Structure 1
Amino acid sequence: MLKEKFLKVLLELPNRRFISYLLRKFATSKMSKVLIPTYAKTYNIRLDEMEKDMKEYHSLHDFFTRRLKEGVRTVDIESDTVVSPVDCVVEDFGIINEDKQFTVKGKHYSIIDMLGKEERTHKYEGGQYFVLYLSPSHYHRIHSPIDGEVVERFELGTKSAPVNELGLKYGKSPLSKNYRVVSELVHNGQHVAVVKVGAMFVNTIHVTNESQAFMRGDEVGYFSFGSTIVLLFEKGSFEIDPAIHYKQDLFMGQKIGKLVSKLK
């Protein structure tokens, strides 16, 4: 019980810069390895899916950023499909309004703030957004949601406030203020912004693939601790799968919708 309580404090504590530094140092140290079995039990990690045996991970961070065995996730191959880039929970989805904003948990988010420059946002006015939350129980590798070419990559923000349900409800716009790594992809002339939002620790989004083109399901990076993905679609370019619903659990590679010809 003591180990479990300590682990939850470690992963779910409201963030402060000095605390983040201390927690990062511990989680990446060999000392943290003793918590791996407790972590796996507390968060019901699917041990049979892991690439390596639990004893082969050298730290809690090493375990947290684990890869999966080949073939344990199936990527939907239907033409023009958009898939979930991560294992996650559907936190929210909807329409980006004419003021280039959307609302999550009563908080208004400006995609100008989220993407850093107004000129990047015009194409998404009136489009759709998806918010996908990764809890400590999830696999934390990030994959491409579409087949597409990378037209821009950039980093923004310095904060690392929590992005869990309470963080979204009571925090100061963490989706557009936290440290984030943004990739903008294009497929058949249609743009999709993949906004990777860090949390818990500063600058913990690691790019593992700097290719200029991706196939659906290609690994592109990983989160270290705490994380959310926001997807932005152009107006009339995306049809959500009717089976998708709020608070749904998704696996990486699962279909969330498809890209369509934009409305004239």
Structure 2
Amino acid sequence: MNKPQKQDETNEASGSDRLLTLPQYLIPQHFLSVIMHRLTQSKRPWLKQRLIRFVASKYQVNMAEAANPDLNSYPSFNAFFTRSLKSGSRPLEGDNSVLASPVDGVISQLGAITNDQLIQAKGRHYRLNDLLAGDEALSQQFSEGQFATIYLSPRDYHRIHMPLSGRLLQMTYIPGKLFSVNPRTVRAVPDLFARNERLVTVFETAEGPMVLILVGAIFVGSMETVWSGQITPPYGRSIRQWHYDKDHLVQLEKGQEMGRFNMGSTVIILLPKQAKSFASKWQAGTAVKMGQALT
């Protein structure tokens, strides 16, 4: 396997990062997220239009690429937030063996998984086994492999697509906290991705096993997949796992939608040791579009 890519050296937590993040330890994260979910589902014209226009303006959302560019026509804020794009706006780069970005966003970190450690931010690491909630067998498959963490901001397209064609083997819902996943909080909160609620999906591909992890966050009203629909809410208190065999076959092609977020969050990709290395142009802090070749 090639050498891991150089990591960003400018994203170490500051005192102000820690101070501004402190309230997140105190607020009722899940309660507030339930309230936000209800607001985003509301079809009251005065409410949904204010939310839509505020977010579209504040984050300079590019509606020119949306399949439906008319802000007034969306029945709810959530419909706007999970909007589809015009056909052909996210072409897939490379052949079927090339890993495509599953989302629009910014690369938070990427590189090698070394000694069971993934980089969260400069000076912060977390354990692969903790990320996977103690699943030793699954952790072993990705020991000394690679990872990429991609952050989706409110301005981004929020559907998640397959980086490679693959067959779903298992899905695990892991309950947890709902810290924000914005860059400041990622720098400040230890083990954030191994503490937050998350959905771990495991695929068998022609290039080897692949894991896509959907990480929940404050105000992320729900996470859903195309095969199971809405997973959260309700928010669980125990780990739930689903296995898929030939009698419950879920086969998805490269570029096909596999799930979506309501509000911004993060996707983590895990690849095994034998996988192709990430292309050198991809570094922490680099913006990426769904479909662009990562390897």
Amino acid at match of 1:40: A
TM-score between the two structures when normalised by the length of structure 2: 0.77
User: Given the alignment, which residue of 17, 21, 28 partners 2:34?
Assistant: 21
Higher relative contact order (CA 8 A, sep 6+): 2
Matched, 1:115 2:132: yes
Amino acid at match of 1:191: P
Matched, 1:252 2:295: no
User: Given the alignment, which residue of 192, 200, 203 partners 1:182?
Assistant: 200
Instruction: Tell me the SS of whatever aligns to 2:277.
Output: strand
Matched, 1:45 2:61: yes
Post-superposition offset of 1:152: 1.6
The number of equivalent residue pairs is 244
CA RMSD, aligned part only?
1.8
- Write the deviation string for residues 10-49 of structure 1: whole angstroms up to 9, x where unpaired: xxx9462332233222232222322312211211111111
Change (3 A) 1:226 1:144: same
- Write the deviation string for residues 75-115 of structure 1: whole angstroms up to 9, x where unpaired: 124240000000010111111112x1122223221111111
Q: Which moved more, 1:215-224 or 1:239-248?
A: 239-248
Distance 1:38 1:145 in 2: 32
Considering fraction of residues, name the structure with more strand. 1
**Structure 1: 5+ residue stretches without partners:** 1-12, 258-264
Post-superposition offset of 1:189: 5.9
Distance 2:278 2:293 in 1: 9
Amino acid at match of 1:85: P
Instruction: Tell me the SS of whatever aligns to 1:220.
Output: strand
1:118-157 equivalence runs, <5 A: 118-157=136-175
Q: Would you identify which runs of 4 or more consecutive aligned residues in structure 1 move more than 3 Å?
A: none
- Write the deviation string for residues 56-86 of structure 1: whole angstroms up to 9, x where unpaired: 1122222111111211111124240000000
Instruction: Tell me the SS of whatever aligns to 1:82.
Output: coil
Instruction: Please name the residue that 2:95 is paired with.
Output: 78
Post-superposition offset of 1:185: 1.4
Distance 1:135 1:202 in 2: 11
Instruction: Please name the residue that 2:86 is paired with.
Output: 69
Amino acid at match of 2:174: L
Post-superposition offset of 1:139: 0.5
Distance 2:34 2:119 in 1: 31
User: Given the alignment, which residue of 227, 240, 257 partners 2:278?
Assistant: 240
Instruction: Tell me the SS of whatever aligns to 2:32.
Output: helix
1:138-217 equivalence runs, <5 A: 138-188=156-206, 190-201=208-219, 204-209=222-227, 212-217=250-255
Distance 2:220 2:173 in 1: 12
Post-superposition offset of 1:203: 6.4
Instruction: Tell me the SS of whatever aligns to 2:48.
Output: helix
Post-superposition offset of 1:195: 0.8
What percentage of residue pairs aligned between the two structures are identical? 28
Post-superposition offset of 1:202: 6.2
TM-score between the two structures when normalised by the length of structure 1: 0.86
Distance 1:44 1:239 in 2: 33
Change (3 A) 1:193 1:206: same
Distance 1:39 1:202 in 2: 15
**Structure 2: 5+ residue stretches without partners:** 1-22, 229-248
Distance 1:37 1:225 in 2: 15
Instruction: Tell me the SS of whatever aligns to 1:152.
Output: strand
